[in-house]
Amino acid sequence: MKKLSFVVPTFALSIGILTLGSAPCFADQDQVAPDQVVGAIEGTFGVTPGERRNHTKGVCALGEFAGSPKMAPYSRSALFSGKPVPVVARFSLAGGNPKVPDTAKSARGMALEFRLPNGNLQHITMLSTPMFGAAQPRTFLDQMVAMKPDPATGKPDPEKIKAFKATHPDNRAQAEFLDQNNPPASFSTSAYFGIHTFKFINKKNKTTMVRWHFVPADGEKRLSDDQLKTMPANFLEQELIERTQKGPARWDMMVWIGQPGDPEDNPTLLWPKDRKEVKAGTLTISSATPQKGAECEKINFDPLVMSDGIAPTSDPILLFRSPAYAVSFGKRLGGM
């Protein structure tokens, strides 16, 4: 199937517009199956056999994370032991098109696998936007179907896009952020956000609601309007490889401490700006390489792979991502 030149403006998985005659209408059904979502992505972007269905274009990296023991009042996770742990990372662009231009106004992704002692793992998957583009999996579905190209034009039907926007206000904040902010000039000059609320659990079993983001030591730098027009289609991978050859790229993991009443199950809503913020550690990326055959290529960065001391909330998007990733992972392992 022909690959599309546009991109999905979220990290996400999406579908769901049904049509009756020429007038679009949205399904009333709330239940969304993971294979529906993955199938919708395939319907919109096509299939690149053996590759991820979403965030298809990416680059692998290696490094380590040194967590802070000062997090002990909040979490007993080995992630914050103070001892460096190896990290396998993947940086990516949203959408299922492996040839999407690096200037696309879409979300960038950072996925991390922390290899803790005794074979334990911690996964963290993040976006370059501070909020997500859906409060419920149904929005995924409806957005992806709205973006499916019309066979006659090879482009999405503007009326379906318009109908989606009008009926899904939970997509608005992220769409506006992507529209108003040019994409990062480098993977190393982007902040990355955990999007969801998580639970930190300490040795006394006290639970604290948290959100986190990773702040680049290189500073946040975005492409200028002129660069959006002049930069080549492929520069992010080579730029990161060359950046790490000059020296490690670093991010500080910053954790916001929640207060009663803060949204816990809606990743489209931000927390108030005055929340306490704690430095939880530093991520160091020491090398990067094309993803084909590299360490990150075969990893399923399931966000529900968590170490003791970190737990999920009831966020429906967070809980849905794991089975959806599993469907995609199974397909690419099978060479599909």
Residue 303: per-residue pLDDT: 98
Q: Tell me the residue type at 52.
A: R
At residue 193, the 3 state secondary structure works out as strand
Calculate what percentage of the chain has a pLDDT beyond 70.
Answer: 91
pLDDT digits (tens, 9 = 90+) for 7-28: 333 433 332 222 222 223 333 3
- Residues 268-285: what's their mean pLDDT? 98
- Comparing 27-41, 120-134, 247-261, 287-301, the range with the smallest average pLDDT is 27-41
Q: Tell me the residue type at 218.
A: D
- Residues 89-97: what's their mean pLDDT? 97
pLDDT digits (tens, 9 = 90+) for 296-318: 999 999 999 999 999 999 999 99
Residue 30: per-residue pLDDT: 66
Q: 268 pLDDT exceeds 50? A: yes
At residue 134, the 3 state secondary structure works out as coil
**Catalytic residue (choose from 55, 123, 196, 213):** 55
pTM: 0.91
Query: Hunting for tokens 């009008």 — which residue is that?
Result: 166
Residue 31: per-residue pLDDT: 87
Mean pLDDT value across the chain:
92
Q: Could you state, in order of their start, the residue ranges of all structural domains in the chain?
A: 17-333
196 closest CA partner among 250, 261, 271: 271
Q: 98 pLDDT exceeds 60? A: yes
Which tokens is 142 given? 């409806």
Query: Hunting for tokens 């039907």 — which residue is that?
Result: 157
- What is the C-alpha separation between 52 and 64, in angstroms, rounded? 24
213 is catalytic: no
pLDDT digits (tens, 9 = 90+) for 144-189: 999 999 999 999 999 999 999 999 999 999 999 999 999 999 999 9
Residue 137 pLDDT class (50, 70, 90 cuts): very high
User: By the 8 A CB rule, do 316 and 137 touch?
Assistant: yes
For residue 125, CA distances in Å to 19, 86, 111, 154, 297 come to 34, 16, 4, 32, 15
- Residues 187-204: what's their mean pLDDT? 98
pLDDT digits (tens, 9 = 90+) for 55-68: 999 999 999 999 99
Q: 41 pLDDT exceeds 70? A: yes
- What is the C-alpha separation between 291 and 247, in angstroms, rounded? 20
Calculate what percentage of the chain has a pLDDT beyond 90.
Answer: 90
**Superfamily classification of domain 17-333:** Catalase core domain (2.40.180.10)
Terminus-to-terminus CA distance in the chain, angstroms? Answer: 13
- What is the C-alpha separation between 291 and 274, in angstroms, rounded? 39
Query: Hunting for tokens 């430095």 — which residue is that?
Result: 279
140 closest CA partner among 52, 48, 58, 26: 26
Q: 34 pLDDT exceeds 50? A: yes
- What is the C-alpha separation between 56 and 147, in angstroms, rounded? 17
Residue 195: per-residue pLDDT: 98
Residue 298: per-residue pLDDT: 95
User: By the 8 A CB rule, do 115 and 85 touch?
Assistant: yes
Q: Which residues contact 169 (CB under 8 A, 6 or more apart)?
A: none
